[in-house]
Amino acid sequence: MLDVKSETPGGAGTAAGASNGIVVERDVDVPVRDGCRLKADVLRPDGGEPVPALLNLGPYQKDKVWIPPENLEEKPNPLMNWETVNPEWWVPRGYACVRVDARGTGKSPGRTEPWSLQESLDYCDAIAWAAAQPWCNGKVGLIGISYFAINQWFVANHQPPALAAIVPWEGFADLYRDALFHGGILNQFMTNWFVTHLCHHLIGRAYRDNPDTFTADTLWRWVRHNLDTGAFAGEQAQWDKITVPLFSVGNWSGMGLHLRGNTEGFMRAASKHKKLRMHSGTHVHPFYTEEARQQQLRFLDHWLKGFDNGVMDEPPVRLFIRHGNGQGEWRDEHEWPLARTRWTKLYLDLSPPPQGAPANSGRLVDGNPAETASRTYFASGLSKGGSSSASSTFLASGAMQAGMGLSFDTAPFAHDTEITGPVAATLWVSSSSEDMDLFLTIRDIDADGNDVWEIGQQGQQVPIAKGWLRVSHRELDPELTRPWRPYHRHARRLYLTPGEVVKVEVEIWPTSMVFRKGHRLRLDIQPRDGIGSVHYTHYHADYNTGTNTILSGGERESFLLVPVIPPR
């Protein structure tokens, strides 16, 4: 390998391990409006004309080298950093890569508040600073995965003048709905994520540079504001204010965290120039493929360098249509959801299961059953230590016993059937308690009765789609609700009277799957996290006791609405 020039505020030198022609400036001061100075690394071409800047700002420590998995298409080098672009690939193509430690993280002083209004204002100032540097052509783009995608939405709310384009790659856009509270139910991934990075900064190497960080009561704030009362306004995309050219990239497997943000962003952002790409697989591999990098480059070249490369003349939507077990093909489309969708209702049939079938089984049928029927199941389960509504490791862990709740199967498909788009369920329910949680899972069951799995964000096996709702959060926003995507206010709790029957509409995050001939679609309705929930389990409040009931048929039409895509 050839050498890279290294410059620091205290001197200059050389460091081996990167391609020739990359200047690395470490620990550069980035001043922000309140006088704080954030720390950044700038990796840029050595000489030549000014170039656009690609910015990241976040808590993952700009100095921490990421050692990628062996099967990543981009290979390890000393300049790799978690969830950010690889300078060895981008700098020779005429870009500067700027990595900023967010306030109170890494080497930046201050009070850490992930995704806060303060952070988005800091990001605005960092964008303005980068655009004014002599090595920059005045245009700034944002690109990165997860955290480095999420806060792109929030800084775009402010419309910074130098921001020319954003590429939020797998990033939630609403801290409340997408990340903290799925259907009003606390997502424990988020609390675990925060504690992990608190430990990185107070116990790990970052402690040497910043021993007094992570002092804000973030966990208390997150859990205390368990209704969407406006506390998270700075951490929610304001779609009417996001006008920057946008390349929104999501992952069908991201149904526990990011997926919803990317499809909502494409549908609702006010940007006149926007594209949507939906892939499958792990959280990092798709970003670093050569094919994906070329698509990122063409988009950014157009908006940051003015190249007339035709990228915006192509169909705005590109989808990976899944066939199971990681297989599938790419297809271009012109809108989302797809205009040719045949919205199909699959009604819940709760008539007694046939002899030999599981007692908790039902059917999904084409027509609403004439008579109303009901089925009751336990809202909690007993572990080896029993169960307590006040305290138990079973309750805290989110664990559940196999077979809880109800499962509904279609008849075997008579031919290959594609389901691509948002999914929703309308259910009539009641409980013996004052509230109930609904966990919905869509599965692909092959002719032998086995699950057809997909590759999850963490490389785990995952089913086709998931949705959630705490019944007391059932109130809809009529302006934003669509038949295929209910939108809940989460502004108050409508508690149940025991035995009261209510209608609920459950958002199931978008998906794509071709169900092969002879396969069946299975819908699980459960009181706890179901199959394929590892890494993304939820806290189940202590009123989830007693029994829950699902009703269907007659005047109680309960159904799953699925987007069937006819062949072209």
**Per-residue confidence (pLDDT) for residue 209, from 0 to 100:** 83
Rounded to whole angstroms, how far apart are CA atoms 205 and 184? 36
Rounded to whole angstroms, how far apart are CA atoms 17 and 22? 11
With left for phi above 0 and alpha for psi between -120 and 50, is residue 17 left, alpha or beta?
Answer: left
Tokens matching residue 52: 């656009």
Tokens matching residue 471: 């019944």
* Tens of pLDDT, residues 347-405: 999 999 988 889 899 999 999 999 999 999 999 855 555 555 544 444 445 454 557 89
Q: How many CA atoms lie within 13 A of 111 on its CB side?
A: 8
Q: Residue by residue, what is the 3-state secondary structure of 32-74?
A: CCCCCEEEEEEEEECCCCCEEEEEEEECCCCCCCCCCCCCCCC
Please state, rounded to an integer, the average pLDDT across all residues of the chain: 92
Rounded to whole angstroms, how far apart are CA atoms 150 and 41? 21
User: Which letter does DSSP use for residue 538 in this model?
Assistant: B
The torsion angles phi and psi of 135, rounded to 5 degrees, stand at -85, -5
* Tens of pLDDT, residues 194-232: 999 999 999 988 888 888 888 899 999 999 999 999 999
**Per-residue confidence (pLDDT) for residue 20, from 0 to 100:** 67
Tokens matching residue 114: 């992930």
Tokens matching residue 80: 């790799």
- Please give the single-letter amino acid code of residue 497: T
Tokens matching residue 214: 């992570």
Q: For the chain, list residues with pLDDT below 50.
A: 1-3, 9-18, 390-396, 398, 400
Cα separations in angstroms, 304 against 41, 109, 162, 166, 247: 21, 31, 10, 10, 13
The pTM assigned to this predicted structure is 0.94
Of 464, 559, 553, 541, whose CA–CA distance to 505 is shortest? 559
Q: What is the DSSP string of 264-307?
A: HHHHH---SSEEEEEE-S-SSGGGGSHHHHHHHHHHHHHHHH--
